[in-house]
Structure 1
Amino acid sequence: MTACSLSGVSCLVTGASGFVGHRIVQMLLEEEPKLEELRVMDKNLSEDLLKTCQRFRDRTLVKTLQGDIRDTDFLHGSCRGVNLVFHTAAIIDTVGKVSKDVVMSINVTGTEQLLAACLQNNVQYFIYTSSIEVYGPNAQGDPIINGTEETVYDKKSAFCYGESKSLAEKKVLRANGQELQNGGTLITCSLRPAYIFGEGSQFLQIHLDQALLNGDVFHRLSRKEALVNPVYVGNVAWAHLLAARAIRDPEGTKKIAGNFYFITDDTPHMSYSDMNHALGKELGLKVESKLAMPLPILYIVASLMEMVSFVLRPFVRFVPPFTRHLLTILNTPFTFTYRKLQSDTGYKPRYSWEEARQMTSDWMVSVIPQRREHLRKNK
């Protein structure tokens, strides 16, 4: 399909310092030179984000906005004069590091308040960065192989993060078609990336640190047969840009208004642990051949650690290194296609698996010396 460019559009990216938000900002600056304005918003504006914005200062008007997604006055000021919002800001938590109240206030209430600010300030388009975790895996670990947006699944979330993203996504999609202050209409859609890898991934860095402490061997917490399809961060950003172009086109609006889409790419299906190995093997990094103990016993260990965490909570915050929920995520076959996204927005992965693997491995090479030094000092 032929999609509109974003020429003359004023865009706002929330969570702009984050892994996905920063990459969306970078892609907008590279691919849309005729933007009227780009506003980048985060509670903390990272040095890397500011450097990216600085590189394009002579071509695109970039406005930096530092504030909290829960601050309604700040949100109204940020949305005034904006045409299109990419909402990526969120707390990502898979092991219970952050209290449920905080996760819900940022991921759900923050989204709700941002939508209200968009309606009040006549923002026409709203693209939400959701997560595959709104779909599952469920507590039973029921698998999905090459699922689509029409796949029927008992997706009741067993964990706070997935629940928060699901609630926020429902608010976004229900807001589609609501009347703006000026009589126009708000158009929304939601994008659900699979597990995202690439340069700068905080999760990949955690796994890398653990491997360096383990004699350059990645720990195995997922069975080989638990196939998933991770997606490269550059392809996630590309999907957001194509959705933005499509949502402004009258034909595209008809297709994607009020809908959600899975974002995957052509990364080979493999387990999470084998994915780490695929990215690190040319660096000499290995992966454990099997789980440290049988999966049912790991679940028992996780359950005991969760009980200890609960008992200690009034006195000290103990965060288990892994939980039953995380074990379920890591050990459930869970793959999806991008056919619907391709059909409705023209999406095809911009980066091949080999390109994505090479760029990610190059980043790993660049950070290993400093990570070794950091780990040595903090022994």
Structure 2
Amino acid sequence: MPGWSCLVTGAGGFLGQRIVHLLVQEKDLEEVRVLDKVFRPETREEFFNLQTKTKVTMLEGDILDAQYLRRACQGISVVIHSAAVIDVMGESPRETVMDVNLKGTQKLLEACVQASVPAFIYTSSIEVAGPSSYKEIVVNGNEEEQHENTSFHPYPYSKKMGEKAVLAANGRTLKDGGTLLTCSLRPMYIYGEGSQFLSDTIIKALKNNDILGIVGKFSTANPVYVSNAAWAHILAARGLRDPKKSPNIQGQFYYISDDTPHQSYDDLNYNLSKKWGFHRDSRWVPPLPLLYWLGFLLEVVSFLLRPIYNYQPPFNRHLVTVSNTVFTFSYKKAQRDLGYEPPVSWEEAREKTSEWIGSLVEQHKGTLNTKTQ
């Protein structure tokens, strides 16, 4: 197939960076354009030093700037849209989350039509499927079961509406007369080295005598390692570029998990960090229904204080629900249609993440020692 080019939005993010690293290894990829609102200096340097023949063009711009998006899409063969505001705690205004995650996606789709980009891959989220209630139980769910999150919390709602817009755009006529082909990937909770969430968890634990905070004691999840989630995007790009080979993926969504054992979020954090002397928190945890209603009370307090003080509760109903439910999904459909096999095993993923946690521990303890001197 002739040379091609790819635009990755959210390229400075945890998943976006991995996608770029795998993309530049693709043969015949002439250019990758990496787009984000602002790149951290270390990310900029990392992209600058990529060992590749592929041209890497860095673009800093707003996903809500339609003209900028149209210029960014000019001459592009595939768009991978992983930019999003991920907000479980409700720290960002609802309008911001809806603007970036829904309006930004709609504007990018329109830019693809105007610039005649034939393929569009959307990084969706497991939260599009749910859980809608802490009572919901899904074990090895699949795409045919049609799980849909009925919550109006801005993050899952905006991602759900964004995904609907992407899948509805499949088959749209492009400006040059071609056809737009789209698909959507719904990764599970993504872990691995570079995860901001994991980093925050470890730093909090270091300040708490190496005791890990309680995140989701009642959950059963099947998290996905970051490189495996990124690999699924590469396969989707190949599939949409060669529709004759993979006619089934157009207009479809896929759950992306791997062979990480099903476990609670608390067990995952412990399994990744125990090598460095971290312990589980053995304190009593209220039953799930009580936790849920405590979350509701905290939200009410936050709402009542808003005119005079911006109180951020330690947790809310949405966090209690997503982090304490039995909610696991199979990757069989991605295996069948995309040829997806997770390239990184659980053992390797655990080892790599654990080594990275070790470097965080060293770095943080070094900072603490400097402060005490």
TM-score scaled to structure 1, two decimals?
0.93
- 1:23 corresponds in structure 2 to 18
- 2:115 corresponds in structure 1 to 121
- 1:277 corresponds in structure 2 to 270
Q: How many residues align?
A: 371
Unaligned runs of 5+ in 1: none
* Alignment partner of 2:96 out of 102, 107, 127: 102
Q: Is the 8 A contact 1:252 1:344 kept in 2?
A: no
Unaligned runs of 5+ in 2: none
The within-5 A match list for 1:24-43 is: 24-29=19-24, 31-43=25-37
* Partner SS state of residue 251, structure 1: coil
Cα RMSD, aligned residues only: 1.8
Sequence identity of aligned pairs in percent?
A: 49
* Alignment partner of 2:4 out of 9, 27, 49: 9
* Alignment partner of 1:264 out of 257, 266, 270: 257
Seen in structure 2, the aligned counterparts of structure 1 residues 307 and 345 have a Cα distance that, compared at 3 Å, is: same
The alpha-carbon deviation at position 130 of structure 1 amounts to 0.3
* Alignment partner of 1:60 out of 43, 48, 54: 54
Q: Is the 8 A contact 1:26 1:52 kept in 2?
A: no
Paired letter, 2:37 = K
- 1:347 corresponds in structure 2 to 340
The alpha-carbon deviation at position 353 of structure 1 amounts to 0.2
Cα distance in 2 for partners of 1:71, 1:118 equals 14
The alpha-carbon deviation at position 317 of structure 1 amounts to 1.9
* Alignment partner of 1:148 out of 138, 142, 150: 142
* Partner SS state of residue 218, structure 1: coil
The alpha-carbon deviation at position 221 of structure 1 amounts to 3.2
- 2:212 corresponds in structure 1 to 218
* Partner SS state of residue 145, structure 2: coil
The alpha-carbon deviation at position 374 of structure 1 amounts to 5.7
* Partner SS state of residue 144, structure 2: coil
Paired letter, 1:49 = T
Paired letter, 1:369 = E
Seen in structure 2, the aligned counterparts of structure 1 residues 153 and 86 have a Cα distance that, compared at 3 Å, is: closer
Q: Does 1:69 pair with 2:74? A: no
Q: Is the 8 A contact 1:139 1:328 kept in 2?
A: yes
Seen in structure 2, the aligned counterparts of structure 1 residues 152 and 56 have a Cα distance that, compared at 3 Å, is: closer
Seen in structure 2, the aligned counterparts of structure 1 residues 13 and 92 have a Cα distance that, compared at 3 Å, is: same
The alpha-carbon deviation at position 253 of structure 1 amounts to 4.2
Cα distance in 1 for partners of 2:52, 2:290 equals 58
* Partner SS state of residue 333, structure 2: helix
Seen in structure 2, the aligned counterparts of structure 1 residues 374 and 164 have a Cα distance that, compared at 3 Å, is: farther
Cα distance in 1 for partners of 2:262, 2:282 equals 18
Q: Is the 8 A contact 1:209 1:375 kept in 2?
A: no
Paired letter, 2:112 = C
Q: Is the 8 A contact 2:120 2:180 kept in 1?
A: yes
Seen in structure 2, the aligned counterparts of structure 1 residues 166 and 90 have a Cα distance that, compared at 3 Å, is: same
TM-score scaled to structure 2, two decimals?
0.95
